[in-house]
Amino acid sequence: MRRGPLRRAGVLGVAGGLVAALTVGGGAVGETVPRLGLQPLWSDPDSLSHRRLAAHEAAGRTDLADALRPLAQAPTATWFTGDAPRERARALTAAAAAAGELPVLVAYDVPGRDCGSFSAGGAADEDAYLAWVRELAAGIGERPAVVVLEPDAVASAVTGCGTVPVRERLGLLRHAVEVLTALPATHVYVDAGHAGWVQDLPALAAALRAAGIDRAAGFALNVSNFQPTDATVAYGRRLSRLLGGAHFVVDTSRNGAGAPVTTGRDEDWCNPPGRRTGRLPSTLTGVDVVDAWLWVKRPGESDGSCRPGEPAAGEWFEEYALALVGV
């Protein structure tokens, strides 16, 4: 995806989550029940990292299995892109509900997705997109879910994508928010880019309002990016104040070493070397306006074939996965 210029904490049970007092980004807040509840976050047993772990175990490669285990066991989001999403969403949310866990879904099918870059694609037109969103909503139904809505779509509209009319895109996102928030147990977070991208926060806030943030649970930051957590929380607080105290979630899947040095090239954000996993997923953040640390980007899955020999976006990239856990 285009990123602009550049211990299982996520599955704390009731006993571990009744009282928490953590300090992150300068704010200490006691929590009893987090905004998203005390359900553990969903760890998908069919993720690519789980499959690779199982393959290494079956082959007796215990060193590689042990190295990948933290990635496989951590709750991560499931991305929905193209194709009819109803049955997949139904199966995933049903499995998560049966396990007593809260799934995180990413809706990523907006027309003109990724401004034609490595993850280009999306629905053919507005009608096709709204039909796709309705199918996704039908699959989720009344079961609990978190939906991160359209990574990059708002931020790229603010900074200029060159391929999509801004008003139409934001209106389309607003319709998507309306459809998804009509579900009784779905929490929608509209993606808002990352702390190193849009610096005109009033413009970003206006775009988020046009995209329906008033009806959503809040916004999402740092999806598939590498900005440090403290800097992201500070950025999110400023944006939150412009939005009347809106809450947000932060993708910490690959920000443990901070952002790479930027040169202005796409490769700065596409599988950049030297990165590490960040805070483990959790709904207990200790920060008043942060509802969760999430692993929205699935560590170990490629950003795209940005260098010779690198896998296409979404495919397993084992060398990079091992690097993320320091191997």
- Residues that are catalytic: 114
How many of the other CB atoms lie within 10 Å of CB of 177?
23
- Could you give the CA distance from residue 144 to residue 40 in angstroms, rounded to a whole number? 12
- The answer to whether residues 102 and 145 touch, using CB atoms and an 8 Å cutoff, is yes
- Could you give the CA distance from residue 180 to residue 135 in angstroms, rounded to a whole number? 10
Neighbour-count burial for 32-70, b at 16+ CB within 10 Å, e otherwise: eebbbebbbbbbbeebbbbebbeebeeeeeeebbebbbb
**Which CA distances in Å does 5 have to 33, 108, 307, 309?**
37, 21, 18, 24
Grouping H, G, I as helix, E, B as strand and the rest as coil, residue 79 is: strand
**Which CA distances in Å does 293 have to 64, 202, 266, 296?**
26, 25, 26, 9
**Using only C-alpha atoms, what is the Rg of the chain?**
18
- The amino acid present at 260, given as its one-letter code, is P
Locate 152 and state its tokens: 């990059």
- The answer to whether residues 22 and 28 touch, using CB atoms and an 8 Å cutoff, is yes
How many of the other CB atoms lie within 10 Å of CB of 165?
12
Grouping H, G, I as helix, E, B as strand and the rest as coil, residue 275 is: coil
Locate 119 and state its tokens: 């993850």
